[in-house]
């Protein structure tokens, strides 16, 4: 009798203990804590009930579910990964880009991001971080292709990272990924291989040689151009002088001809004889004149006359 009561009492005690544990578990399942840098999304039967910020909250046990989302800023490398020894290892599929002058360049970015909307982050896409990475690569490639290799490696880094950040922000807003870009910086930009590095150095050397040749040519131009201009001015002045001399000579000859024509009109025979004698004198300056009747054998020299 007493053993039966004792066994029955033990069964009640066990049942009571199980009920108490179930109640405690149910109560504990209903309470949850949200940290300072977290947000909680509460759902029931697949529908979103609410979102909670930092604090202690209660939900309906077993019916409502709670998902905690980390709202802190995270960072990741684009174009490289960090090995166990801390060394950066290039990811060729991500880091190597083509530039506007059809050169290859290895560009490494560091992306800082965080969750902007926990509901979109959890339920809009299945892998928001992967989508973010693909978006970053698309924005980087579409931006780097507009710059020359010199700009990417030297002076264009700040402009590139600003343009990539703006494009990424617009894309994240358009596709509702639930993430936002906090900051994006260019870590490094260099030719991808040793052979290309050497070729790049040779190109830079050739460019410097080109600049040197251009400077020498400009110096020669600055020296020779004034001299050529002076020579041109001298030739023009000499030509102008010859021109004026020819014009004056022609005007004098025209005036002489006009005067001679007037004399010819007044004394035609005398003028013709005069012109003949002057022409002979000019053509044959050493001509000796001998006057004879054609019959005498004695010649009379006229040099003294």
Distance of alpha carbon 261 from the chain centroid: 82
Is residue 125 situated within a structural domain? yes
Exposed/middle/buried for residue 136 (C-beta within 10 Å: 0-12, 13-18, 19+): buried
Residue range of the domain that includes 177: 74-192
What's the rounded Cα separation, in Å, for the pair 191 and 150? 10
pLDDT at 257: 81
| Long-range pairs for 243-247: beta carbons < 8 A, 24 or more residues apart | none
95 and 61, same domain (yes or no): no
59 and 86, same domain (yes or no): no
140 and 64, same domain (yes or no): no
Q: How confident is the chain (305 residues) per 10-residue block, as mean pLDDT?
A: 53 64 64 90 89 88 87 89 68 80 86 94 91 92 91 89 93 92 89 69 81 89 87 90 89 83 78 76 69 60 54
Spell out the residues 6+ positions from residue 253 whose beta carbon is closer than 8 angstroms to its own.
none
pLDDT at 5: 45
Contact 109, 162 (CB under 8 A): no
Q: Which helix (H) or strand (E) holds 303?
A: none
Q: What is the pTM of this model?
A: 0.57
Last residue of a domain, one of 36, 69, 102: 69
- Which residue bears the tokens 């009379």? 300
Could you count the other beta carbons within 10 Å of the beta carbon of residue 147? 21
Last residue of a domain, one of 175, 192, 209: 192
Q: What total number of domains does the chain contain?
A: 2
Is residue 116 situated within a structural domain? yes
What's the rounded Cα separation, in Å, for the pair 171 and 161? 15
Last residue of a domain, one of 69, 101, 123: 69
Q: Rounded to whole angstroms, what are the CA distances from 87 to 51, 129, 301?
A: 40, 23, 123
- Token couple for 273: 């004889």
What's the rounded Cα separation, in Å, for the pair 96 and 81? 14
Is residue 20 situated within a structural domain? yes
Is residue 81 situated within a structural domain? yes
pLDDT at 198: 72
What's the rounded Cα separation, in Å, for the pair 111 and 91? 15
pLDDT at 70: 94
86 and 181, same domain (yes or no): yes
154 and 46, same domain (yes or no): no
Could you count the other beta carbons within 10 Å of the beta carbon of residue 162? 12
Kindly write down the DSSP assignment for every residue of 191-213, as one continuous string: -SSHHHHHHHHHHHHHHHHHHHH
126 and 46, same domain (yes or no): no
């Amino acid at each position: 009798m007493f053993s039966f009561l004792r066994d029955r009492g033990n069964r009640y005690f066990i049942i009571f203990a199980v009920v108490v544990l179930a109640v405690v578990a149910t109560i504990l399942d209903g309470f949850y804590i949200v940290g300072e840098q977290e947000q909680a999304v509460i759902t029931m039967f697949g529908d979103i009930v609410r979102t909670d910020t930092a604090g202690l909250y209660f939900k309906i046990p077993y019916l409502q579910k709670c998902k905690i989302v980390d709202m802190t800023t995270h960072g990741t490398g684009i174009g490289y990964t960090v090995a166990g020894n801390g060394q950066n290892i290039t990811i060729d599929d991500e880091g190597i880009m083509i530039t506007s002058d059809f050169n290859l360049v290895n560009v490494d970015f560091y992306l800082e991001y965080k969750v902007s909307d926990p509901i979109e982050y959890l339920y809009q896409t299945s892998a928001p971080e992967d989508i973010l990475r693909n978006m970053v690569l698309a924005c980087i490639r579409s931006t780097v292709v507009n710059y020359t290799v010199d700009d990417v490696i030297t002076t264009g880094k700040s402009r590139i990272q600003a343009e990539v950040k703006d494009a990424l922000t617009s894309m994240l807003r358009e596709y509702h990924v639930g993430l936002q870009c906090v900051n994006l910086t260019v870590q490094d930009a260099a030719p991808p291989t040793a052979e290309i590095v050497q070729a790049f150095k040779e190109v830079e050397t050739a460019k410097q040689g080109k600049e040197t040749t251009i400077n020498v040519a400009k110096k020669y131009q600055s020296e020779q151009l004034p001299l050529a201009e002076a020579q041109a001015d001298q030739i023009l002045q000499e030509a102008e002088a010859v021109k004026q001399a020819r014009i004056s000579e022609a005007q004098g000859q025209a005036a002489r001809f006009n005067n001679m024509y007037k004399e010819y009109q007044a004394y035609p025979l005398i003028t013709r004889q005069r012109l003949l004698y002057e022409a002979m004198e000019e053509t044959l300056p050493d001509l000796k004149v001998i006057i004879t009747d054609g019959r005498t054998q004695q010649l009379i020299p006229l040099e003294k006359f």
